[in-house]
Structure 1
Amino acid sequence: MARCPCGVGDRYRDCCGRLHRGEAAAATAAELMRSRFSAFARQDEAYLLSTWHAATRPERVGFEDGLRWTRLEIVREEGGGPGDDKGVVEFRAHYLTGPGSQPGELHEVSRFVRHDGGWVYVRGKIITAG
């Protein structure tokens, strides 16, 4: 049984896997954020691009060799509920990289909007330490 990378559900197939396979849609911006983290962890470029707003979507997702996403921590949510049209999710995504599996963290404030009835990622602002 493969545990879901997002850390919320036990089994990937019953958690973010449902969204990745198109069997369900994210009900909230935070749920979309978690599913996108899982997609990065699984290098699911098609899902990432399909949940990216067309105005800010890149042609490709650049996956970094040797980088392994290990844990997602939702820090703050603003809006982004089932009745909202906009949402903000602040998160910390933890990873390991390099031959010595050096730990690292991506701290970002992401903006989401509801588009054609579903949540999409618009853009994020990376928060740097210090």
Structure 2
Amino acid sequence: MAKEELKIIKKAELTNNCPECFNQELQLTFYQKHKYHSLYHQTSGEVTHEIKCKTCHSVIYPVSWTQDIERVFDFYRKMVTPDRATIKFTMLFYILILILIVLVAGSFYLYLQKLI
């Protein structure tokens, strides 16, 4: 079974007011999805974000953003450079492919020996 993990790309401290408690301790975090499987490691191109207040520990959703928060978010979104979307195969994958090739070649050899 594949295990999905959100890795942090960038964290930023914002000085905007929280819409819930009106303190100036917001944290903006950008995440990128990584999927780990026994045969491969996949990095997705999908980037997600979260704004959280450090004082009241509430997540600030885009519905309650002010114009100032939107401007700062757009600024930081342009600065984020995610990793390329790639798939990297593990050593187990290559070993299984090698075993499969050996089995096919061996069975083909045995088949040819019976015909002669």
TM score, norm. by length of structure 1: 0.29
Comparing both structures, which one devotes a greater share of its residues to helix? 2
Larger Rg: 2
- TM-score scaled by length of structure 2: 0.31
